[in-house]
Amino acid sequence: MQVNTTLATPRQREVAQRFEANILSQMLAPMFNTINTRGLFSGGAAEEQWRPMLTDAFATRMASAGGIGLAPAILAQMLRNQSTQETSP
């Protein structure tokens, strides 16, 4: 069933994009966890504390730049679910 995503509200688009950013953040986290934070040129404990926020910022930026294509699929499914709820008794 094809869904016309042009009928989506800005809020629905934002939610789909945020969800994609959340998924991207979860995908990026293991990569950043392999970085050595103990050494002469590392950020040490402070870097470890701020790393999850940096990962989230990277993911949000990636999602706003188009991401990996999940947001349109998520938005379409949200609209399908909404239309199903509107038509069910």
Per domain, the residue ranges of the chain are 10-87
Q: What is the pLDDT of residue 72?
A: 93
pLDDT band at 16 (very low <50, low <70, confident <90, very high): very high
pTM, rounded to two decimals: 0.82
Tens digits of per-residue pLDDT, 25-78? 999 999 988 877 676 667 777 788 888 999 999 999 999 999 999 999 999 999
DSSP H helices, the chain, are 10-33, 44-64, 70-87
Higher pLDDT among residues 88 and 20, named by residue: 20
